[in-house]
Amino acid sequence: MPSLFLIGGYRVFFWSNESGEPVHVHVCKGVPSPDATKIWLTRRGGCVLAHNRGKIPRQTLNELLEVIAAQHEFICSRWREFFAVEDIDFFC
Protein backbone atom coordinates (compact mmCIF):
# COMPACT_ATOMS: atom_id res chain seq x y z
CA MET A 1 0.00 0.00 0.00
CA PRO A 2 1.89 3.07 -1.20
CA SER A 3 1.29 6.02 1.10
CA LEU A 4 1.68 9.23 -0.89
CA PHE A 5 1.42 12.00 1.71
CA LEU A 6 -0.35 13.25 4.84
CA ILE A 7 -2.65 16.27 4.95
CA GLY A 8 -3.79 17.42 8.38
CA GLY A 9 -3.76 13.91 9.77
CA TYR A 10 -5.38 12.36 6.68
CA ARG A 11 -3.35 9.76 4.78
CA VAL A 12 -3.54 9.78 0.96
CA PHE A 13 -2.69 6.38 -0.52
CA PHE A 14 -3.59 3.72 -3.06
CA TRP A 15 -3.81 -0.03 -2.65
CA SER A 16 -1.16 -2.20 -4.30
CA ASN A 17 -3.73 -4.33 -6.19
CA GLU A 18 -5.48 -1.54 -8.12
CA SER A 19 -3.55 -1.47 -11.38
CA GLY A 20 -6.62 -2.43 -13.46
CA GLU A 21 -8.59 0.65 -12.37
CA PRO A 22 -8.28 4.27 -13.48
CA VAL A 23 -5.85 6.29 -11.36
CA HIS A 24 -7.31 7.24 -7.98
CA VAL A 25 -6.43 7.65 -4.32
CA HIS A 26 -7.99 6.74 -1.01
CA VAL A 27 -8.05 9.05 2.00
CA CYS A 28 -8.45 8.10 5.66
CA LYS A 29 -7.57 9.25 9.12
CA GLY A 30 -5.41 6.74 10.93
CA VAL A 31 -4.91 3.21 9.67
CA PRO A 32 -6.01 2.59 6.04
CA SER A 33 -9.17 0.53 5.71
CA PRO A 34 -11.47 -0.65 2.90
CA ASP A 35 -13.93 2.05 3.99
CA ALA A 36 -11.56 4.89 3.12
CA THR A 37 -12.88 7.74 0.99
CA LYS A 38 -12.11 7.26 -2.73
CA ILE A 39 -11.17 10.03 -5.17
CA TRP A 40 -10.72 9.62 -8.94
CA LEU A 41 -8.18 11.74 -10.81
CA THR A 42 -9.31 13.28 -14.09
CA ARG A 43 -7.51 13.62 -17.40
CA ARG A 44 -7.60 17.44 -17.12
CA GLY A 45 -5.71 17.55 -13.84
CA GLY A 46 -8.57 17.61 -11.36
CA CYS A 47 -10.27 15.06 -9.21
CA VAL A 48 -13.78 13.75 -8.54
CA LEU A 49 -15.19 12.21 -5.38
CA ALA A 50 -16.10 8.56 -5.97
CA HIS A 51 -17.46 8.02 -2.45
CA ASN A 52 -17.03 9.32 1.07
CA ARG A 53 -17.29 6.10 3.07
CA GLY A 54 -14.69 7.54 5.43
CA LYS A 55 -17.27 10.18 6.38
CA ILE A 56 -14.83 13.06 6.10
CA PRO A 57 -16.60 16.35 6.97
CA ARG A 58 -17.55 18.33 3.84
CA GLN A 59 -15.31 21.35 4.49
CA THR A 60 -12.31 19.12 5.18
CA LEU A 61 -13.12 17.01 2.13
CA ASN A 62 -13.20 20.13 -0.08
CA GLU A 63 -9.76 21.12 1.22
CA LEU A 64 -8.43 17.62 0.61
CA LEU A 65 -9.79 17.65 -2.95
CA GLU A 66 -7.93 20.91 -3.63
CA VAL A 67 -4.63 19.49 -2.37
CA ILE A 68 -5.09 16.24 -4.28
CA ALA A 69 -5.82 18.15 -7.50
CA ALA A 70 -2.69 20.25 -6.90
CA GLN A 71 -0.67 17.02 -6.53
CA HIS A 72 -2.12 15.43 -9.69
CA GLU A 73 1.21 15.05 -11.50
CA PHE A 74 2.94 13.64 -8.43
CA ILE A 75 0.17 11.08 -7.87
CA CYS A 76 0.17 10.02 -11.53
CA SER A 77 3.95 9.71 -11.48
CA ARG A 78 3.86 7.48 -8.39
CA TRP A 79 1.05 5.38 -9.95
CA ARG A 80 3.10 4.82 -13.12
CA GLU A 81 6.21 4.03 -11.10
CA PHE A 82 4.54 1.63 -8.67
CA PHE A 83 2.52 -0.29 -11.26
CA ALA A 84 5.32 -0.09 -13.87
CA VAL A 85 3.05 1.30 -16.58
CA GLU A 86 3.67 3.96 -19.18
CA ASP A 87 0.06 4.92 -19.80
CA ILE A 88 -2.64 5.25 -17.18
CA ASP A 89 -6.40 5.46 -17.48
CA PHE A 90 -8.47 8.24 -15.99
CA PHE A 91 -12.03 8.25 -14.71
CA CYS A 92 -12.95 11.05 -17.13
Largest CA-CA distance found in the chain, in angstroms, rounded: 35
User: Which domain range does residue 65 map to?
Assistant: 3-83
In a domain, 60, yes or no: yes
Q: Is the pLDDT of residue 5 over 80?
A: yes
Residue 18: band (very low, low, confident or very high) from pLDDT cuts 50, 70, 90: confident
What angle (nearest 5°) sits at the alpha carbon of residue 22, between those of residues 40 and 87? 125
> Is 67 buried (19+), middle (13-18) or exposed (0-12) by CB count in 10 A?
middle
Containing 38, the helix (H) or strand (E) segment is strand 37-41
How far is 19 from 52, CA to CA, in rounded Å?
21
Q: For position 19, what pLDDT does the model report?
A: 73
Q: What is the pTM of this model?
A: 0.94
Average pLDDT, integer, range 12-24? 91
pLDDT at 1: 78
pLDDT value for 63: 97
Domain membership flag for residue 91: no
Q: How confident is residue 30, by pLDDT bands cut at 50, 70 and 90?
A: confident
Could you tell me if residue 19 is inside a domain?
Answer: yes
Q: Domain total for the chain?
A: 1
Q: Residue 63 domain-assigned? A: yes
